[in-house]
Amino acid sequence: MLKGLIFDVDETLVYYEGYDHRKWYERWVTPALREHGVELDYETYRKTVTGELPRSYVKRFGIDHVEFWKIVDEVNMRYRRWLAERGKIRPFPDVGVLDELKKMGMKLAAVSNASQECTEFVLNLFDLRKYFDAVYGKDYSYLDGVKPNPHLVNKALKTLELEPKEALMVGDSLHDVLAGKRAGMKVVNVTRFGEIEGADYYVNDLWELVELVKKMGIHSP
């Protein structure tokens, strides 16, 4: 029986109007890195984000890798505040599902490759944090533990006190699918931006997710 769900945050629950990853990196991150004497081209950065290269790869550019990612995350936090002030961070219209799922007795967690601060910020921006029993962002003690690594998902399962078979992973990206599968979970792909191969279930929006949960059977606490 199903007892809980673990959600991705960005592009699953909220979205960023006009966001372009490369432009963000070049306009916001590159100047901050240069202040620390670091020159890192976008393609190399992209590979560390996608997991093609380890997060520690940046050490060869003369900076401690934990310090590097903290700089990036500080920039990301400033960027999110800038977007929020302009009304450019928005919740998807179906996030009311979280309230419905809690009323159904579901345990909920959120996991994100963004920093803890960035993740909590966007959830609090729309009063969504209250629905989650656990929220995990990037872990600086294990930077390569971000999705598609199952580390954050496993942390959430442990906190929720659930076995992988008792929960669903819900997300929009290949990283979400891989992280959930590697944690031994069934994965729901929310197809806002197209279907991701390898998911167990596909829903067009989060209201369809509620119907799926009902069909699967709910554990009564």
Q: What pLDDT is recorded for position 156?
A: 98
Q: Pick the more confident residue, 164 or 51.
A: 164
In this structure, the number of other CB atoms found within 10 A of the CB of residue 69 comes to 20
Instruction: Please report which confidence band the pLDDT of residue 219 belongs to, taking 50, 70 and 90 as the band edges.
Output: low
Report the C-alpha gap between 25 and 46 in whole angstroms: 9
pLDDT digits (tens, 9 = 90+) for 88-140: 999 999 999 999 999 999 999 999 999 999 999 999 999 999 999 999 999 99
DSSP 180: H
pLDDT, average across residues 7-35: 97
The highest-level CATH class for domain 4-15+91-216 is alpha beta
Report the C-alpha gap between 178 and 53 in whole angstroms: 17
Mean pLDDT of the chain: 96
DSSP 171: E
pLDDT digits (tens, 9 = 90+) for 154-208: 999 999 999 999 999 999 999 999 999 999 999 999 999 999 999 999 999 999 9
pLDDT for residue 27 is more than 60: yes
Q: What pLDDT is recorded for position 1?
A: 85
Q: What pLDDT is recorded for position 217?
A: 79
Report the C-alpha gap between 174 and 106 in whole angstroms: 24
pLDDT for residue 55 is more than 70: yes
Both structure tokens of 71 = 């700089």
pLDDT digits (tens, 9 = 90+) for 57-66: 999 999 999 9
pLDDT for residue 73 is more than 80: yes
Report the C-alpha gap between 179 and 177 in whole angstroms: 6
